[in-house]
Amino acid sequence: MPGKNPDLPIEDVRRLFEHWGDVTAEPRGVDYSEVDAGGVSALWAIPKGGASDRVLQATHGGGYVVGSPYSHRKLFGHIAKVVGVPVLIIDYRRAPEHLHPAPVEDAVRSYQWLLAEGFQPEKIGLIGDSAGGALAVTTLLLLRERGLPLPAASVPLSPWTDLLVTGPSVVSNHEKDHFVKRHVVDHLSSVYLGDDGTSVARRDPLASPLYADLAGLPPLYVQVGGDETLLDDAARLVDAARAAGVEVRYDVYPEQQHVFHFLAGSAPEANQAVQDIAQWLRPRLGLSWEEHRIAAE
């Protein structure tokens, strides 16, 4: 998530954030190509030798204000390579130019494009980080609302699920989290909702999935760092999903920061998290993890 600096033009903030992905090692064996996904700009990350009839749709983080498929290209490239399927990283519309619910509308539009391209819903997964992690859930909610077939699974990474910012870890992990602070999250909430800081707006399930009816959603795999201020955004989403009867796996990686996955290729904790995603996700897409692991070795 970006910091709050009202004196810095939004385009300058966005240019700075594009370098966030510089910390991610370049994954080898992954090709990238731009595509129009039903009116939504997107970037394919295609691993060599991967399955061609399965796919992940990825939504990048950045508080709905910054970030792009290019800031997250290498992160999702690592995930594409280890899972063994192409990843469609969508360039959804961002605030303040486009307010809520533009990002989730775009995520549904690109998902419908995947269906039109011939991908079966049971062979599609969703994944995203931070605000994009919330989108990996709110996309499911809007698909369900519109009566569209749901994907096989969803993987929210360090998800930002509560625009009201009520999680106790916002306070308890304040000194540990070097990236996400309460004033930053409050500011981004206001920008995303068009300066509407009312509790009603911030409780909209398509903005804050923590307050949604989660019944009937496909399996979720939630990962989060133990030192995050948004730790309780993840934990409470998991509790709500399990209470609604949703199958959930939940992993907290001790002493890790917000979206520590960006260190994929250079930090063992990030590499392990990506491996965990692949081991959990491949069977849900109808692929064998064991065969893939042996082939990769």
Decide if 258 is catalytic: yes
Catalytic choice (68, 71, 110, 130): 130
Decide if 228 is catalytic: yes
Catalytic choice (68, 110, 187, 228): 228
Catalytic choice (60, 72, 100, 258): 258
Structure tokens at 126: 């969703």
- Catalytic positions, please? 130, 228, 258
